[in-house]
Amino acid sequence: MRIDKFLHAMRIGTRTQVRRLIKDGHITANGEPVISGKQQINPGSDAVFLDDEQVRYQQYFYYVMNKPVGVITATSDATAKTVMDLFNTTDYRDDLFPVGRLDKDTEGVLVITNDGALSHALLAPAHHVTKVYEAEVTGEITAAQVAGFNDGITLKDGTQLQPAQAEIVEFHEIEDFTTIRIMIHEGKYHQVKRMVGTLGERVVQLRRIKFGSLSLPVGLLAGNYRALSETELTALKRDANQPVTE
């Protein structure tokens, strides 16, 4: 692998900044100064340093984002703003992608990575990775109404859903809406909205607060993201039934 590509991939800087670092003598490989960005290295075994700090190879990157309303869950779009447009230039990589999707008008926890195997495992129906949503729903919804979700309801178009868990959080009498929390184990199109529709009401605001074991981080504002902690990543791999290196 070319050393300039390696340094760029490890987020040392833009391609222009990397070339400048090499030219100014800040980069060494196995103790020898690097004089050309074309120099070939083995990222897994060669010791590359930026001045006195070693640049360690990292193949996969994992982030959690609090997706805001108004952006789409996609890597690119010709007309609409995507979740990848929210990344700063230092963290952005061409191979990053969101795991699953949240609707444009839905906010909440979203995993973004370049680890295709983990993404596939988390989304595989066989693993039943749970998703928890908090919804503001028109009108007064009762516990008796949502109790039917526990048995697995049939949507208006005949789609049979798996059992879900739902509870009433609060009824807001003055504004006439109810906050409910729903845990689902699948990901049908507009599933929560369609579930609420069977009650004769509609969702006016929807937020995903948990994806598998990953809860929406406290203090992570809508539109912001951060790298997953080792603890969070380990838990997600367990959700996906992947091997975990302790």
Catalytic residues: 103
Strands (E), the chain: 27-29, 32-33, 48-50, 53-54, 62-67, 97-98, 106-113, 131-138, 165-172, 177-184, 203-211, 214-215, 225-227
In terms of C-beta density within 10 A (0-12 exposed, 13-18 middle, 19 or more buried), how is residue 179 classed? middle
Q: Which amino acid is at 198?
A: T
Longest CA–CA separation in the chain, Å: 72
- The enclosing H or E element of 194 equals helix 191-197
With vertex at residue 89, the alpha carbon angle to CA 70 and CA 14, rounded to the nearest 5 degrees, is 160
- The enclosing H or E element of 243 equals none
Residues whose CB is less than 8 angstroms from the CB of residue 24 and which lie 6 or more positions away in sequence, other chains included:
none
Cα 112 to Cα 8: distance, rounded to the nearest angstrom: 19
Residue written as tokens 């902690």? 229
